[in-house]
Amino acid sequence: MSIEVTSLAKSFGSSVAVEDVSFEVPAGSLMALLGPSGGGKSTVLRMIAGLEVPDAGTVRIDGEDVTRLPARSRGIGFCFQHYAPFRHMTAWENVAFGLKIRHRPKAEIAARVAELLELVRLSGFADRYPSQLSGGQRQRMALARALAVEPRVLLLDEPFGALDAQVRKELRTWLRELHEKVAVTTVLVTHDQEEAMEVADQIAVIREGRLEQVGTPAECYDHPASEFVLTFLGPATRINGAWVRPHDLALSLEDRPGARRGTVERIVRLGFETRVEVVLDDGTDTWVQLAGRALDELALSLGARVYVSMEHARDFSAVASSPTV
């Protein structure tokens, strides 16, 4: 089922949380709302869910205007950052809740809950209380609970935000697989650009309540609509007055046509990649991202004189000069 939001706006008191946000999520796809914390993306999600009432604008699910409909009648599944488990119920009872209040037959509930617990890999944990589950398990339980009522759309509010890095990565991959299996239209809120790029079919970048860009991860990365999108989606640095991706820059010890001379100021090793910070002779700071063993081949040390060339780099200056908020 598709989701369509048009000109959504919301203020809390005198502070504007969301301003004129419009986008469409095609049926069966996964959209990530990406942006810095406090930028209004969760408010957009809560307005789609019916947990906040917009000051202006409309929300349509499957073509139906649901703007004035309470959350319980919208046919949605919602997952909260802190899981919002029903603490007095076991995992089984949590997942069964939506079906029980719909008075479905017992046999049907049992079958459906078993199937969902299997899907989220919690079959052996049916009788555990939320306090006896890990963070990742609680969020998977919350997902199963949301999916139990066969929602028209699935809304996830920073679902992995409270988990540690390793579990985040696992769940991210798992969510993508799950989405391919269940194929329910999904909107995911995240401030982690890597998460958005890996999981989503489309990304909507939101900053200070406004929509900066909507597009596929590749479109947003390669054709950022603003300087903000450019710098938020990936590393960017300035050289020769141009905006470039530091992994597109080349570093060498010999001069090359068009290369700029500078001194190595800092070398940061981050496992698979290395960050080399260079002060150019004209005084500007820039940095180059090297992969794998490239650093060892150059045998760089602090204070070394190097040449930075941007012959393979794409200049995003046109974007950078475009007006942004």
Partner 1 sequence: MISRWLLRAFGFGYVGFLVGIPVVAVVWRALAPGFSSAWHSVDTPAGIHALELTLESAAIAVVLNTLFGVGVALILARHRFPGASVVEMLVDLPLSLSPVVVGLALTLFYSSRQGWIGGWLTARGIEVIFAFPGIVLASAFVSLPYVVREVLPVLQELGTDSERAAETLGAGPFTVFFRITLPAIRWGLAYGVLLTTARILGEFGAMSVVSGNIVGQTQTFTQFVSAYFTNYDPAGAYAGALVLGLISMFILAALSVTRSRGERFS
Asked if 70 interacts with partner 1 (CB under 8 A), we say: yes
Closest CA to 5 of 53, 50, 52, 44: 44
Per DSSP bridges, beta strands 76-79 and 153-157 are parallel
Instruction: Please work out the total of residues on this chain that contact partner 1, with binding judged by CB under 8 A.
Output: 29
Neighbouring residues of 252: CB distance < 8 A, sequence distance ≥ 6: 259, 298, 306, 307, 309
Q: Which of 68, 82, 269, 305 is the binder for partner 1 (CB under 8 A)?
A: 82
What are residue 6's phi and psi, to 5 degrees?
-130, 125
E strands present in 15-95: 15-25, 30-34, 56-61, 64-65, 76-79
CB of 71 or CB of 236, closer to partner 1: 71
Asked if 246 interacts with partner 1 (CB under 8 A), we say: no
Closest CA to 172 of 147, 206, 196: 196
What does the angle CA 168 – CA 161 – CA 60 come to, to the nearest 5 degrees?
A: 110
Residues in the chain: 325
| Residues β-bridged to residue 79 | 156
CB of 272 to partner 1, least distance (A): 38
Asked if 182 interacts with partner 1 (CB under 8 A), we say: no
What are residue 211's phi and psi, to 5 degrees?
-85, 125
CB of 266 to partner 1, least distance (A): 43
Q: Which of 8, 33, 39, 80 is the binder for partner 1 (CB under 8 A)?
A: 80
Asked if 145 interacts with partner 1 (CB under 8 A), we say: yes
CB of 99 or CB of 249, closer to partner 1: 99
CA distance 67 to 303: 61
Q: Which of 55, 58, 62, 97 is the binder for partner 1 (CB under 8 A)?
A: 97
Asked if 86 interacts with partner 1 (CB under 8 A), we say: yes
Asked if 102 interacts with partner 1 (CB under 8 A), we say: yes
Instruction: Please check whether residue 148 is in contact with residue 119, taking contact to mean a CB–CB distance below 8 angstroms.
Output: no
Q: Which of 15, 37, 131, 166 is the binder for partner 1 (CB under 8 A)?
A: 131
CB of 73 or CB of 166, closer to partner 1: 73
Asked if 91 interacts with partner 1 (CB under 8 A), we say: no
Asked if 159 interacts with partner 1 (CB under 8 A), we say: no
Asked if 135 interacts with partner 1 (CB under 8 A), we say: no
Neighbouring residues of 84: CB distance < 8 A, sequence distance ≥ 6: 142
Asked if 224 interacts with partner 1 (CB under 8 A), we say: no
CA distance 184 to 34: 20
Segment near partner 1 (CB under 8 A); pick from 65-73, 115-123, 287-295, 311-319:
65-73
Instruction: Please check whether residue 120 is in contact with residue 145, taking contact to mean a CB–CB distance below 8 angstroms.
Output: no
Asked if 88 interacts with partner 1 (CB under 8 A), we say: yes
Asked if 160 interacts with partner 1 (CB under 8 A), we say: no
Asked if 103 interacts with partner 1 (CB under 8 A), we say: no
- The binding site for partner 1 (CB under 8 A) comprises 49-51, 70-74, 76-78, 80, 82, 84-88, 97-98, 101-102, 129, 131, 142, 145-146, 148-149
